[in-house]
Every structure is written in C-alpha cells, then in structure tokens.
Amino acid sequence: DAKTTQPTSMDCAEGRAANLPCNHSTISGNEYVYWYRQIHSQGPQYIIHGLKNNETNEMASLIITEDRKSSTLILPHATLRDTAVYYCIVRVGGSQGNLIFGKGTKLSVKP
Amino acid sequence: AAGVIQSPRHLIKEKRETATLKCYPIPRHDTVYWYQQGPGQDPQFLISFYEKMQSDKGSIPDRFSAQQFSDYHSELNMSSLELGDSALYFCASSLTGRREYFGPGTRLTVT
C-alpha cells in the first residue's frame, strides 16, 4: 500500500471548517483513500473514503486532486467533539487488505 | 445498531502470565481484525480472520495466537506476558468489501 504523509498537528476554531491535508504521491490506480479518526483511546472510527471523485457524507467531505497524489478531508463546522487524531490511509480495492495506520494528524478544535 | 463487543474492557496481569481477549463481531460480519496500540503509538495490525480462517498476519509476536470460532467470535491469546505488551487491543469486524467497525478496545496492563 502507498505511504501517506500528514501534518503532525493542526488547530481549528470551533464552528470553522477544518481542512486536513494528506499526501500520497505513490498511490496506485486501484488504491482508495480512506480516512479514520481516533478520539482519545476509543476505537478508530470510519469517516469517509474515495477513489477519484470528491465524496461527501454526513460527517465530512473528501477532495482528491486530479492526479490523486494528495487529498483533503474537510470537516465543515468543527466542534470540540471533533478533537481527535485523523488518519489518512491508502489501500487496495475497496476494503480489501488491512488498515495500516501511519502517523496521523492530531486535530485540536478550540473554543 | 449492534456494535463490536470486546471483553474484558480492562485486564491487569503480571509478567509471565497468560491473557485471553475476546471479540464479538457485528452479526453477519465475516472478517475480524486485531490491532495493538501501545502508549502514544498508532494502532498496529496484528492478525485477521476471514470465515474462520487466518487471512493475514502482521506484527504479531510468536507468544500470541488467535482464532475465530464457528460463531465468528474471535479470541486473542497472549502467553508469557511482558511489560511491553501493555497496550490497548482493538478488534474490528467487517463484511467482505465493506469498511471496518472497531470495538471499544481492551486495555491490558502488565505489571
């Protein structure tokens, strides 16, 4: 699976959009981009995933660049409960293969 | 909705003892994964099972073993416990081709 690079930490003001970047320059054509988050010692929680097109669900939006070498997770209106470590994971074909967690981004949402 | 159940939630053992962690996947899920997360570390994949057969193996020590039973629950057995085995152990389950759902974890403390 392709390696990902994320900033170690980010801050965001409550109510503002949180934009979390991820670089995955070695991604292959059949690899998806997945985002999970882990709120303090809880089990990781799925957020969203995509292949080429931008995706949106009730939690977030995922913007993938045209060359697929990077992506951005957007939390449109961050709340204090969104404070967590966010992991960007690249994996082959849908949910095949295991999740390999790298160094995620610690997002701190501040009042 | 039913979630992944892990038991016990907390476990304290002494060095060289044995521990057994249990995981009950979401009903009808056919795949179970085990992850280990040491203090301040990211989750590390240990082992997975599909339809009661081991499907993949990660950085699982030889002192650890696991299996998935006919009712799809899984157990992680850890022997000759070491201080370094103190960690959160997460179980996740999925239906083939779908995303993983993580349990709340078991916190193992080895003294």
* pLDDT for the residue A93: 52
Three-class secondary structure assignment of B32-81: EEEEEECCCCCCEEEEEEECCEEEEECCCCCCEEEEECCCCCEEEEECCC
Tens of pLDDT, residues B1-31: 789 999 999 999 999 999 999 999 999 999 9
Answer whether B96 sits within 8 Å of A46, measured CB to CB: no
Alpha carbon separation from A78 to A83, B19, B107 (Å, rounded): 9, 40, 29
Kindly tell me if the per-residue pLDDT of B106 is higher than 70: yes
Q: Which residues of B touch A41 (CB under 8 A)?
A: 88, 105, 107
Each residue's pLDDT expressed in tens, for chain A with a length of 111 residues: 668 999 999 999 999 999 999 999 999 888 899 999 999 989 999 999 999 989 999 999 999 999 999 999 999 999 999 999 999 998 865 555 678 898 999 999 999
CB within 8 Å of A85: residues ≥ 6 apart? A37, A38, A104, A105, A106, A107, B42
CA distance A42 to chain B (A): 6
Would you call A80 helix, strand, or coil by DSSP? helix
Q: Which residues of A touch B101 (CB under 8 A)?
A: 46
Report the residue from B42, B58, B96 with minimal CB separation from A98: B58
Q: What is the mean pLDDT of residues B75-79?
A: 98
Question: In chain A, which residues touch B (CB < 8 A)?
Answer: 34, 38, 41-46, 49, 85, 87, 94-104
* pLDDT for the residue A92: 67
Instruction: Return the number of other C-beta atoms located less than 10 Å from residue A12's C-beta.
Output: 19
Q: Which residues of B touch A94 (CB under 8 A)?
A: 97-98
* pLDDT for the residue B11: 98
Kindly tell me if the per-residue pLDDT of B41 is higher than 90: yes
d(CA A89, CA A94): 12
Report the residue from B42, B96, B107 with minimal CB separation from A102: B42
Token match 């003892």: residue? B17
The C-alpha R_g of chain A, in whole angstroms, comes to 13
d(CA B98, CA B103): 16
* pLDDT for the residue B2: 83
